[in-house]
Amino acid sequence: MSGPQPRAEVMQIHAYVGGESKLPGINRVIKLSSNEGAFGPPPAAQAAFAKVAAEIHRYPDGGSAELRRAIGARFGLPPERIVCGTGSDELIQHLCMIYGGPGTEIIMSMHGFSMYQIAGTYAGSRVLKTPERNLTADVDAMLAAVSADTRIVFLANPNNPTGSLLPQSEVERLRAGLPDEVLLVLDAAYAEYVTDPGYDAGVKLVDAGENTVMLRTFSKVFGLGGMRVGWAYGPAGVIDALNRVRGVFNVNIAAQAAAVAALAEPGWVERSVAHTTEWRERLRAALEAVGIATWPSAGNFFLADFATAERAAAANAWLKSRGIIVRAMGTYDLPHCLRITVGTAEECGLVADALRDFAQHG
Ligand X SMILES: *Cc1c(COP(=O)(O)O)cnc(C)c1O
User: Site residues (CB under 6 A) for ligand X?
Assistant: 87-89, 113, 156, 160, 187, 189, 217, 219-220, 225, 230
The residue (of 138 and 352) whose beta carbon lies closer to ligand X is: 138
Shortest gap between Cβ of 124 and ligand X (angstroms)?
21
Shortest gap between Cβ of 31 and ligand X (angstroms)?
15
> Which amino acid would we find at residue 336?
H
Closest CA to 42 of 189, 223, 174, 197: 223
DSSP track, 8-50: GGGGGPPPP-------TT-SS-EE-SS---SS-S-HHHHHHHH
List the alpha helices (DSSP H) in the chain.
Answer: 43-51, 65-75, 87-99, 115-123, 139-144, 168-177, 203-208, 236-245, 253-264, 268-289, 309-321, 345-361
The residue (of 111 and 220) whose beta carbon lies closer to ligand X is: 220
Q: Which residues contact 293 (CB under 8 A, 6 or more apart)?
A: 287, 304, 305, 306, 307
The residue (of 220 and 327) whose beta carbon lies closer to ligand X is: 220
User: Following CA atoms 194, 336, 93, 21 in sequence, which dihedral angle do they give, to the nearest 10 degrees?
Assistant: -90
Q: Which residues contact 47 (CB under 8 A, 6 or more apart)?
A: 261
The residue (of 221 and 292) whose beta carbon lies closer to ligand X is: 221
Shortest gap between Cβ of 187 and ligand X (angstroms)?
5
Shortest gap between Cβ of 252 and ligand X (angstroms)?
14
Shortest gap between Cβ of 215 and ligand X (angstroms)?
7
The residue (of 160 and 250) whose beta carbon lies closer to ligand X is: 160
Shortest gap between Cβ of 162 and ligand X (angstroms)?
10
Whose CB is nearest to ligand X? 87
Residues 220 and 189 sit within 8 Å (Cβ to Cβ): yes
The residue (of 100 and 230) whose beta carbon lies closer to ligand X is: 230
